[in-house]
Chain A
Amino acid sequence: MRFRKITALLMAAAMTASLAACGSGSGNATTEPAAEETKTQEAADDGVKEEEAAETADASGEKIKMTVSVWDNASSPQFQSMADAFMEKHPEVEVELIDTQADEYDNKLTVMLAGGDSDPDVIMVKNAETQVTMKDKNQLLELTDYIARDGIDLSLYNGAAEQLQMDGKQYTLPFRQDWYMLFYNKDLFDAAGVEYPSDDMTWDEYEELAKKMTSGEGSEKVYGSHNHTWMALISNWAVQDGQNTLMNEDYSFLKPYYEQALRMQDEGTVQSYANLKTGSIHYTSVFEQQQCAMLPMGSWFVATLIQDKKDGKFDFNWGVTKIPHPEGVPAGATVGAVTPIAINAKTDVPEQAWEFVKFVTSEEGAGILADNSVFPAVSTDSVVEKLSSMENFPEDGKTALEITSFAFDRPLDAKMAPVRKVIEEEHDLIMIGEEDIDTGIANMNERAAEARAE
């Protein structure tokens, strides 16, 4: 009897032991992320402990890990360059980029931040209006005191920093400032014997030119131009004159631009929206595979083209000029956006994160950005000079850098994100021809009003 009891106990012990082994076995297999997590968590939840952690980490030769959220890292080399430059200056910090594809970036970012994690420590705000929601959810670290402490001169940004203020406080700093330009394929223009696009074209003239540059059939077809599927590539031209914004109550100001886009699509001078959307086709590959002669796109594309050509991904000459403009608006009027940079309120490395923000938004950081053919928000003379002498930047492209006026593509408004969602759904329906323009705009008006009222 006694013997049996002991065996039972032993068996039970063995069982628990084997269970524990299972448990730790599965734990071991996941060691990497789990261990990292505890590390960062132990690395403190407040700044004070953080300092100590930093020192111990330093002493033991271990690096402080800091994460930065970015999008389309593969096609946007500037992020890595910035991180590398920063790490060179601050060897104690290891910057890790959290990469998400551009079209899912905002979603993923909100998910990450709501998860309440300290990652990402530094946030690149892809669409400036989303900073309003993030601030409302207390997800952003207020930078006002840091700015005062380190004496940052906000006039560097030509007013962009002030524009990013919310309730009179600074939560973000302008990192990049991008605006729209017209990119074109010089080889295709040469082959067709057509003059390069001028830097003073109206949108109608652009449409004519696109018609002239369309040639070929089937998979060999070269389109005169390329309209990517973003709503911005319609609405931007409608706000270019600065008279309207996407928070207007009536969206009928978009109508002429929808008419033009649909006309170009029907005439086959641009690829159809339906095709691009169902194939989720990236504009980079369309331009680089010489499927279009022109491409209205943001200035961030300069860096992509320079890098890709260097990497041998394509081998033709490209050009860039001012974006076309509406009738009656002077050439050089452009539309664009500021990319703010912010710090996660829950960051475990606030000092390092601030150092990073400070660095990338400084004149020095701007210089590095410019070296990498990215357009920084700081626009001192030296930066502009650097930009216009970028390596492999087309000589005749400098005109694209001279802007006379700058309209924001979307206003910084807390309701912009929900409104944008509904008007983009209607945009989708208009562009595939399921809704005529008037119905689509009427629906936009109605649904945007609902979204605003919420």
Chain B
Amino acid sequence: MNTKTLKSRAIVYGVLTILAVGMVIPFVWMLLASFKTSNEVFSIPMKLLPKVWHRENYQEIWKKIPLLTFFVNTTKLTFITTVVQVLTSCFAAYGFAKVKFKGRDILFVIYVTTIAVPWQVYMVPQFALMGKMHLTNSHLGLILMQAFSAFGVFLMRQFMLGIPGELLEAARIDGLNEYGIFARIALPLVKPGIATLIIFTFVNIWNDFMGPMIYINSTELKTIQLGIRMFISQYGADYALIMAASVCSLIPILIIFMLCQRWFIEGIAAGGVKG
């Protein structure tokens, strides 16, 4: 390696490190602030480290808000919605891509018409409808309104279309019926697609704020996003506690992210390529 490339490598590392630190600073600041007293958070002159590490902040927030309930709710919503979304989407996608049945094209056109319509466009009539069905203020309502996106079917269909028809034909000749072909041949071949859909649904539902905000009223049904928000407006000046609650809300997603990082990256990459 010559000096020039060495120098440019150094620059790349330097720039990347500075940027990465910049990205992480809010989280570090949050973590440090969560161990301070509320007065100390904004002390002038600024001090980065707490004078005394107030670990009891973390005990206190559990007494003030039902964080655990919020976690359980969010996890439950995310998990069920993702499972329903992925299962039904794969099913439908296979039907649309690989089974020739009457009315297929019409049904698919119905999906196509809404693919470009953002949720914000129809959230109002959807809410009115859900209200009539008595599905507001319930987790069931939230799951139903989010689990059947045209996007899921679309994405999976794209992947299903990529499966060569000869493969399926061969399986048919071997005596496998459509369900068997779906389960044994098609599904394993679209794993990257499934990963993508899982990631998209998971992140969307976990981070969804507006949906629960509109639909959920009862504290015991609230998600982590709403819960933290409620905490912030009720304990506005308890900065340290707010930061402690925020840290708590980030830990599970951090763990999940660390464990499944590869999936996240591959999923998004596949989604980005397939469009």
Contacts and interface: CB of A to CB of B under 8 A. Distances in A.
Are A and B in direct contact (Cβ within 8 Å)?
A: yes
6 contacts: A8-B177, A30-B143, A72-B234, A119-B217, A219-B44, A280-B232
A30 B233 contact: no
A285 interface: yes
B127 interface: yes
A33 B76 CA distance: 13
Given A15-B179, A115-B131, A219-B39, A282 B136 contact: no
B214 interface: yes
A29 interface: yes
B235 A285 contact: yes
Nearest to B42: A219
A108 B83 CA distance: 30
Given A108-B217, A117-B136, A119-B217, 8 more contacts: A12-B179, A34-B139, A98-B218, A104-B233, A115-B131, A117-B131, A285-B237, A285-B238
Interface of B is mostly: helix
A101 B230 contact: yes
B80 A11 contact: no
Nearest 10 Cβ contacts at the A-B interface: A285-B237, A115-B131, A115-B136, A282-B236, A218-B44, A281-B236, A33-B138, A101-B233, A116-B131, A8-B177
B11 interface: no
B210 interface: no
A119 B137 contact: yes
Contact of B76 (A4, A29, A96, A219): A29
Contacts of A403: none
Given A29-B76, A74-B234, A279-B236, A289 B38 contact: yes
Nearest to A74: B234
A99 B43 CA distance: 34
Interface in B16-55: 38-40, 42-44
A75 B233 CA distance: 12
Chain A CB count within 10 A is highest, among B84, B139, B237, for B237
A219 B130 contact: no
B4 interface: no
Contacts of B214: 111
Interface in A89-136: 96, 98-104, 108, 111-112, 114-117, 119
B132 A29 contact: no
Interface string A258-285: 0000000000000000000001111001
A281 B217 contact: no
A313 to B, nearest CB: 11
A392 interface: no
A100 B217 contact: yes
Given A11-B180, A15-B179, A33 B235 contact: no
Contacts of A98: 217-219
B222 to A, nearest CB: 10
B132 A116 contact: yes
Given A22-B87, A75-B234, A285-B236, A30 B217 contact: no
A108 B229 CA distance: 14
A409 B43 CA distance: 38
Contact of A117 (B137, B180, B235): B137
A28 to B, nearest CB: 10
B188 interface: no
A30 B80 contact: yes
Nearest to A114: B131
A27 B233 CA distance: 33
B103 interface: no
A33 B39 contact: no
B196 to A, nearest CB: 21
Nearest to A102: B233
A33 B234 contact: no
A276 to B, nearest CB: 8
Contacts of B217: 98, 100, 108, 111-112, 119
